[in-house]
Amino acid sequence: MTRLLQVDAFADGPFTGNPAAVAILEKPRDESWMQRVAQEMNLSETAFVLPAGSDWAIRWFTPTTEVALCGHATLASFHALREEGKVGDSVTFSSASGPLVARAVGDRVELDFPATPPERCDEPEGLLDALGLADAKHIARSRHDVLVEVGEQKELTDLYPDFRALSGVDARGVIVTAMADEGGEGLDFVSRFFAPRAGVDEDPVTGSAHCALAPYWSAKLGARPLRAKQLSRRSGRLEVELRGDRVALRGQAVTVLAGELRV
């Protein structure tokens, strides 16, 4: 049987942040089996981790497809492995995006991910209409996603995209971001992430999107630790720090379910 945990990542407590399933494999399994498990779990990501020498290999699946990089499910995987006594205070995951280091920093997990700085681009056909926006301050494209900056936080919270139209945009997903409102929460920037093309209309908290947001906002606000919040219904907080061509992503996690997969 396969040990299976559900972990809320980038979460202040249970039922916040982004839930991910983590399957701790004892032997390799084929892609079709992993895809069926991810479909059964019906979360934005299911991670599969397998011992690989002194390290661990990791793969990520949405309910419909495998993806090349996922932050919250990597954070969840380290949290699950540590809770199960499989690793100590750090681990290196081998992945489709190269080696990824996760380590405990106080009560948080820090991920070391590749930066994916976005470059200005023309508007992909139909993008703003699909988002329900009349215009945008900036449109750019990173390795995985299209990034759209809007003028203020309220524009972001008021978005109701046409997900069918948005799935026609040629990118894994669409990041929409704004500078955070001044005052109460002490945030630097906010965002939302839509990926209907990958089977996830809106992702609650997207670590890999912050690999583009970190260099983008660091260029505007200065290369320092930045406090971010993803404004999904569940919402989630993280801290990001640009380190050359890498990004440190820091957040908390909590296990909400643990059991055995009997297939």
Q: Active-site residue 45, yes or no? A: yes
- 26, 31, 40, 45: the catalytic one is 45
Q: Tokens for 187?
A: 């945030």
Write the pLDDT tens digit of every residue in 238-258.
999 999 999 999 999 999 999
pLDDT, residue 33, reads 98
Write the pLDDT tens digit of every residue in 130-163.
999 999 999 999 999 999 999 999 999 999 999 9
Largest Cα–Cα separation, the chain: 52
pTM summary value: 0.91
Q: What letter does residue 123 receive in the DSSP assignment?
A: P
**CB of 245 closer than 8 Å to CB of 114:** yes
pLDDT at 54 over 90: no
Tell me if 2-114+249-261 shares its fold with 119-244.
Answer: yes
The domain limits of the chain are: 2-114+249-261, 119-244
**CB of 220 closer than 8 Å to CB of 257:** no
- Determine the Cα–Cα distance for residues 137 and 51; give it in Å rounded to an integer: 45
Write the pLDDT tens digit of every residue in 154-198.
999 999 999 999 999 999 999 999 999 987 689 999 999 999 998
CATH number of 2-114+249-261: 3.10.310.10
Q: What's the fold here for domain 119-244?
A: Diaminopimelate Epimerase; Chain A, domain 1 (3.10.310)
